Amino acid sequence: MTPLLNIRNLEVTSDRKKIIQQCSLHIRKGEVHIIMGPNGSGKSTLCHTIMGHPQYRVTRGSMKFNDVNLQKLSPTERAKLGLFLAFQYPQALPGVSLGQVMRATAHSMPLPKLKQALQNALQSMQLAEEFATRSLNEHASGGEKKRLEMVQLMLLKPKLAILDEIDSGIDIDALKLITQAINEQRAQQKTSFLIITHYPRLLQHLTPDRVHIMMHGRIVHSGDSTLGKQLEQEGYAAFEYTHKLTRTLRKKQTTQRD
Amino acid sequence: MSKTKPHTIQHPQENYTAGFRMPERAVFKARKGLNEKIIQQISQHKQEPQWMREFRLQAYALFQKKPMPRWGADLSAIDFSDIYYYLKPTRQSEKRWEDVPSEIKTTFDRLGIPQAERKYLAGVGAQYESEVVYHSLQKHLEKKGVIFVDTDTGLRKYSKIFKKYFGTVVPPGDNKFAALNSAVWSGGSFLYVPQGVHVDLPLQAYFRINAEKMGQFERTLIIAEEGSSVHYVEGCTASTYSSGSLHSAVVEIIVKRGAHVRYTTIQNWAKNVYNLVTKRAVAYQDAVMEWVDGNLGSFKTMKYPSVYLMEPGARAEILSLAFAADGQHQDAGGKVIHVAPHTSSRIISKSISKGTGRTSYRGLLKVHRGATDVKSRVVCDALMFGKYARSDTYPTIKIDELQTQIEHEASVSKIRDEQLFYLTSRGVTEDEARGLIVNGFIEPIVKELPMEYAVELNRLIEMEMEGSVG
């Protein structure tokens, strides 16, 4: 089975600075992948690049979604293919409501049905009805914003949802709601997930297929969910060694070739 | 909704559906240009009393003396000798649309005026070139003593009350264009609301310029007696020509004790019209005056609705919305003068400029000495699209009293890439995303409009935003 998301040897540049190098990632339908890594390791950049943020340029490698080359597609087109990004810092949109945004999306349904679906999704995230009509992400708490991202995910039903630190800045109750929703989407819609997190606690609520460690713009290690435990005990330092080792090996290979 | 040409700037005129022309129609048209003889002619045609003729001639002398404003929009291309100052399209104003000449009626049909009248208006005045061709008011309001007629009729039929207030709020010498209007005024609305009468549905005046090189100089006078309330709405469009037209109105409003007047304007002149308007209200004890001023059309606009708060408890609210597309300059804003203590005001200005469009917020907030416990808040936000769009803020604040509470905020923003990215990542197209953000930006003003106008305004702005480059 070809992977849903197929990233090969990706190099990403922003302002002439290489942020991601030699990054490969394959996610199949219904799989949950988790990426962990220290601050500044390129996790958010990877999320934004997959979604098509104009600030990031792919300078090497390839990115395919359902065998379609993503690189030339606009964020709108990527969304229409079934990609979704839940932002770490969702943008406030003064005067623009969640209802309006949902109505404007390509996936819009008949209005009464949409309204109902929106209310259901808000309810399941324990958000008041008025969140549908007030300015999106404006005067909302950190936890509310994250839950609003999940509401949008539930309505848009993407094939692959990228969640950029969906679990940061929220309390334990919100975390439960969010992970429940992730598991439900996965079970019912066969949604695939790429989840960025700093907290191994998230792994207790989900059963990820793969856990990746990202450092210095590379995925330095991939494993199963036990990787989280190892990380909790040993910290990123343990993987710093692997990172250095692979780099040295690569260098050696290049020198030998010369 | 499918959007075309996502990466070209559309010429605004392409979307100006109101720019259509009808064959010119006149029962009398004064010769081009302006002199005393033409003013005499206008007055004669209207069979005015001597005092009005003298008022006009004195105003004309002032007009000649007054310099052109050296601030605001660039008006140097106006050629006063290349304008028709008076064009009478029909013999008289009618009370039934059936009696209005067909090409004029067709015009207003196409603009949706009779339809709107049936649905949600208490009365309508429709002006075509220099004269009001149609006027109506619901019977029950007439019975309550509400007067809503064109201003010429006001002078003729209600001369006593007319003379008492006319020219008292905006004297002819106020500025060059007020002087011009005072000299050649024609048409406009005369509205009188008796004590304690509440006009529950809006009254609307619609102004249309069809002829080329036309000058329209309507004059509006509104008197709201104690404890009364009224919402007056005006709209305007013009046929599109390559040569300039001139619209220079004067609006005077008297809001008596405890009365409430709201004056809403949706200005959508064709982009060859100079729109230079003086609008002013005086508000007495516990009175409320609200200006909702939307400027979308015209080539250049200079307009700063103002309120003089004369007695304690008076309140002023000015909501100003300006949109300048390619080649347009909207120099708009508002003025509040706190003459009395315990008065309050709020000015909210939102402006959008795109392409080579330019918006300027120009405001005055003045607090007289002795006007203690004044509260005022001024907020102006500007939104710009593209690197050639321009926006400036000229807020003047003159406070002669220490015991006041003044807040002023100004912000200028471009639509942030991050907002666009957020919306497009949801599957919204870039054009729609911009439309959403712009509509969100003006929402605080749009929500104050009657529903039908809010829908219309959003539609106009969406048309303007289509295919603009961020």
Note the pLDDT tens digit of each residue in A53-107: 999 999 999 999 999 999 999 999 999 999 999 999 999 999 999 999 999 985 5
Q: Residue A199's pLDDT is what?
A: 87
Q: Which residues of A touch B430 (CB under 8 A)?
A: 74, 76
d(CA B246, CA B274): 5
Domain count, chain A: 1
Q: Is residue A68 part of a domain?
A: yes
Mutate one of A96, A145, A160 to test the B interface: name it (highest B CB count within 10 A).
A96
Residue B124, strand partner residues:
B136, B204
Instruction: Give the domain range for residue B85.
Output: 19-415
Predicted structure pTM score: 0.83
The mean per-residue pLDDT over the stretch A43-62 comes to 96
Pair B409, B423 in one domain: no
Q: Which residues of A touch B432 (CB under 8 A)?
A: 104
Give the closest residue to A1 by CA, choosing from A31, A23, A34, A33: A31
Q: Is residue A192 part of a domain?
A: yes
Smallest Cβ–Cβ distance between B440 and the set A74, A87, A96 belongs to A96
Residue B214 and residue B245 in contact, taking contact as beta carbons nearer than 8 Å: yes
Q: Residue A254's pLDDT is what?
A: 60
Q: What does the pLDDT look like over B39-79, one tens digit per residue?
A: 999 999 999 999 999 999 999 999 999 999 999 999 999 99
Phi, psi of B56 (to 5 degrees): -65, -45
pLDDT beyond 70 at B470 = no
- Is this prediction's ipTM beyond 0.95? no
Residue A246 and residue A255 in contact, taking contact as beta carbons nearer than 8 Å: no
Pair B405, B457 in one domain: no
d(CA B128, CA B105): 10
How far CA B114 is from CA of A149, B119, B127, in Å, comes to 46, 9, 13
Window 130-159 of A: residues touching B by CB (8 A cutoff) are 135, 152, 156
Least confident window among A37-41, A92-96, A248-252, B43-47: A248-252
Q: How far is CA B45 from the centre of its chain?
A: 27
Q: Is residue B12 part of a domain?
A: no
Pair B142, B105 in one domain: yes
Q: Residue B459's pLDDT is what?
A: 75
For residue B204, give the 3-state DSSP assignment: strand
Least confident window among A56-60, A107-111, B243-247, B452-456: A107-111
d(CA A258, CA B4): 54
Q: Is residue B458 part of a domain?
A: yes
Q: How confident is the model at residue A255 (pLDDT cuts 50, 70, 90)?
A: low
Amino acid found at A200: P
The mean per-residue pLDDT over the stretch B25-43 comes to 95
Pair B355, B453 in one domain: no
Q: How confident is the model at residue A110 (pLDDT cuts 50, 70, 90)?
A: confident
Measure in Å the smallest separation between the Cα of B424 and chain A Cα atoms. 5
- Cβ within 8 Å, pair B425-A84: yes
Q: Which of B398, B415, B432 is the last residue of a domain?
A: B415
Q: Is residue A243 part of a domain?
A: no
Q: Is residue A241 part of a domain?
A: no
Q: How confident is the model at residue B35 (pLDDT cuts 50, 70, 90)?
A: very high
Q: Which residues of A touch B427 (CB under 8 A)?
A: 76, 79-80, 105-107, 156
Instruction: Give the domain range for residue A20.
Output: 5-207+225-233
Q: What does the pLDDT look like over B74-129, one tens digit per residue?
A: 999 999 999 999 999 999 999 999 999 999 999 999 998 999 899 889 999 999 99
Chain mean pLDDT for chain A: 91
Q: Is residue B8 part of a domain?
A: no
Among residues of chain A, what percentage have pLDDT more than 70? 93
Pair B135, B110 in one domain: yes
Q: Which of B374, B397, B415 is the last residue of a domain?
A: B415
d(CA B135, CA B140): 15
CATH number at residue A22: 3.40.50.300
Measure in Å the smallest separation between the Cα of A227 and chain B Cα atoms. 31
Q: Residue B8's pLDDT is what?
A: 33
Q: Residue A226's pLDDT is what?
A: 86
Q: Which two tokens stand for residue B15?
A: 């979307």
Residue B22 and residue B106 in contact, taking contact as beta carbons nearer than 8 Å: yes
Pair B348, B468 in one domain: no
- Cβ within 8 Å, pair A51-B430: no
Give the closest residue to A101 by CA, choosing from A47, A74, A127, A138: A138
The mean per-residue pLDDT over the stretch A144-155 comes to 97
Pair B219, B362 in one domain: yes
Q: Is residue A167 part of a domain?
A: yes
Measure in Å the smallest separation between the Cα of A35 and chain B Cα atoms. 21
Q: Is residue B308 part of a domain?
A: yes
- Cβ within 8 Å, pair B419-A52: no
Pair B398, B445 in one domain: no
Smallest Cβ–Cβ distance between A79 and the set B426, B439, B441 belongs to B426
pLDDT beyond 90 at A154 = yes
Phi, psi of A138 (to 5 degrees): -95, 135
Q: What does the pLDDT look like over B283-325, one tens digit per residue?
A: 999 999 999 999 999 999 999 999 999 999 999 999 999 999 9
Q: Residue A107's pLDDT is what?
A: 58
Pair B71, B188 in one domain: yes
- Cβ within 8 Å, pair A104-B428: yes
Q: How confident is the model at residue A23 (pLDDT cuts 50, 70, 90)?
A: very high
Q: Is residue B1 part of a domain?
A: no
Q: Is residue A242 part of a domain?
A: no
Count Cβ–Cβ pairs < 8 Å, chain A vs chain B.
Answer: 76
Burial of B182 per CB tally in 10 Å (0-12, 13-18, 19+): buried
Strand ranges for A102-255 from DSSP E: 135-136, 160-164, 192-197, 210-215, 218-223
Phi, psi of B47 (to 5 degrees): 50, 55
- Cβ within 8 Å, pair B418-A91: yes
d(CA B291, CA B251): 12
Smallest Cβ–Cβ distance between A101 and the set B421, B428, B442 belongs to B428
The mean per-residue pLDDT over the stretch B177-191 comes to 98
For chain A, report the end-to-end CA distance as a whole number of angstroms.
38
Q: Is residue A220 part of a domain?
A: no
pLDDT beyond 70 at B466 = no
Residue B273 and residue B246 in contact, taking contact as beta carbons nearer than 8 Å: yes
Pair B64, B87 in one domain: yes
Domain count, chain B: 2
The mean per-residue pLDDT over the stretch B162-168 comes to 98
Return the residue of B nearest to A76 by Cα. Answer: B427
- Cβ within 8 Å, pair B427-A101: no
Q: Residue B13's pLDDT is what?
A: 42
Q: How far is CA B362 from the centre of its chain?
A: 15
Q: How confident is the model at residue A52 (pLDDT cuts 50, 70, 90)?
A: very high
CA dihedral sign, ordered A186, A188, A191, A196: negative
Pair B129, B35 in one domain: yes
Q: Which residues of A touch B441 (CB under 8 A)?
A: 94-95
Pair B309, B231 in one domain: yes
Q: Is residue B446 part of a domain?
A: yes
Q: Is residue B379 part of a domain?
A: yes
Cα Rg for chain B, rounded, in angstroms?
22
Return the residue of B nearest to A104 by Cα. Answer: B428
Q: Residue B7's pLDDT is what?
A: 32
Q: Which two tokens stand for residue B447?
A: 């929500």
Q: Is residue A97 part of a domain?
A: yes
